[in-house]
Amino acid sequence: MVGFNDAPLIQKLAVPAVCLLISFLGYVSQLVFQYSALEPGPPSQTEAVVFNSLLLLLWYAYYKAVTVDPGQYAFSEKVMEAEGRWCNKCTAPKPLRAHHCKLCKRCVPRMDHHCPWTGNCVSMTTFPHFLRFLVYTNMSLWMLGHLLWQRFYAIWQARHLPAYLGPSVPALVSLAMLSIICFFTTSALGIILVTTVRSWVLNRTMIEGWELERHEAIADRPSKDWWEMTGPDGKPISFERVEFPYDVGFFTNMSQAMGTSNPFLWFYPFSGNPSISKTGKGSGWTWEENGFNRTEGMWPPPDPDKIRRAGRDWPAAGRNLDAELRELDLSPEEAKMAFKRRQEQDVKRRRMLMAELEEQDDFGENSDYEEDPSVDKGWSNTDGDRLGDFGVDEDAYDVVDADESDDNVPLGELLRRRNVVATDRQE
């Protein structure tokens, strides 16, 4: 399924196609059972009630999975601190476990992935409905498989009778088509159900599973000489193995994902879903940790490859934000001088970049150099998935540590903060 999100045709036709598939397997099958000469005849009243009840639950859960808002953060007007990560697309801080979805155009709380078949993100608010949809769908398919098996078994028992005493050719063709489609649909949705339940039990989204596998691949490299690094701003950055912190226990994980600690409501079709706190704290903003790491707030771990490339590509790329703010108050002549200084710095940067490109040419196609497969540009997990396949817009944010300067925060945001501080002091 990954990669389908980027296809415009899939985005438009996925939901209608799912509705068509449900209608075909759910209702065309009943017409075939009712009006064909297939033994043992039409389903019993109990079988019909159970099957159609599961279909109603399926439809409702799918409707909720498609229509429930995946969640959005509402920040107060005065955003003075950019702790954690900063989203360049939303121009706002990005809370823990949130990711910017390139299709929903926002930072989604506890984003699991963007599902092409629901046209919606599987997130903190939609996960309960998505899980119920998978459960009801698989139960409906199992029931349909049972009904199909009854008719195949009857045909097998009558295999020695003359052909004209058996079912008609159209009935056999319809039975074969239903069986083939039911088999492949059950296999695909069974796999999705297993992976979704696994993420539910471990309190780990698909994206976080990708990040964890990526982190372990980096930590298991033979060479550890890059564990002590220097960031683009010249400050030292230490890399260490980090345990996934949000697995806080079997029952707590499931209660947190379903929005209630009452197990009887987890699969109740009309149950609600978790909601995001509007105060900037609590549900959707902060997450309980298991305490296995040295301190809280260590997830997601830093990516040494990105840090190393950032420092190598632009050795002089560290922004002097204080100087940028001061230049706004310069006189015309002073502004011209500052502009000339920036031109001279640009020339130096070009020379450094050309030297870097020449150095990279030494490792071209004709050399023995092999690119590290764990480098983010081409790295994929064991399933061949990249982070962008889950709908994440990786270019939307940068890491901003709480104890470091706001190098990645836009200048306009810094200006607004300065004006807010000035206003507060006047008051």
Q: Is the separation of the CB atoms in 220 and 233 below 8 Å?
A: no
Q: Which residue has the tokens 């900063």?
A: 86
Q: What's the helix, strand, coil split of the chain in %, to 5?
A: 50, 5, 40
Cβ-based neighbours of 126, under 8 Å, separated by 6 or more: 64, 65, 68, 70, 71, 118, 120, 273
Half-sphere exposure of 414 (CA within 13 A, CB side): 16
Q: How many residues does the chain have?
A: 427
* Rg of the chain in Å (alpha carbons): 28
**Given the residues 90, 104, 107, 115, the one annotated as active site:** 115
Distance CA 279, CA 387 (A): 30
Distance CA 369, CA 188 (A): 40
Relative orientation angle of helices 169-202 and 206-219, to the nearest 10 degrees: 60
Q: Is the separation of the CB atoms in 122 and 115 below 8 Å?
A: yes
Active site residue 115: yes
Half-sphere exposure of 238 (CA within 13 A, CB side): 4
Checking 377-380 for CB contacts under 8 A at 24+ apart, the result is 379/214, 379/217
Answer whether the bond into residue 269 is a cis peptide, omega within 30°.
no
Catalytically annotated residues: 115
